[in-house]
Amino acid sequence: MGIYSNGVIYGFSIFVDEMIYKEVYDHPVDLQNIIHFKNAYNTLSQEQLEKATFSFYLEASSAYCHGQENFISPFPVSKDAIVSYINLYRAKIDGVSFETQG
Report residues of the chain scoring pLDDT below 50. 98-102
Residues in the chain: 102
Task: Using CB atoms within 10 Å of the CB of residue 3, give its burial: 0 to 12 exposed, 13 to 18 middle, 19+ buried.
Answer: middle
Helix (H, G, I), strand (E, B) or coil at 69: coil
Residue 21 is predicted with a pLDDT of 97
CA proximity to 10, closest of 43, 34, 40, 42: 34
Q: What is the pLDDT of residue 98?
A: 46
pLDDT digits (tens, 9 = 90+) for 66-93: 656 788 889 999 999 998 888 888 877 7
Per domain, the residue ranges of the chain are 3-93
Q: Which amino acid is at 8?
A: V
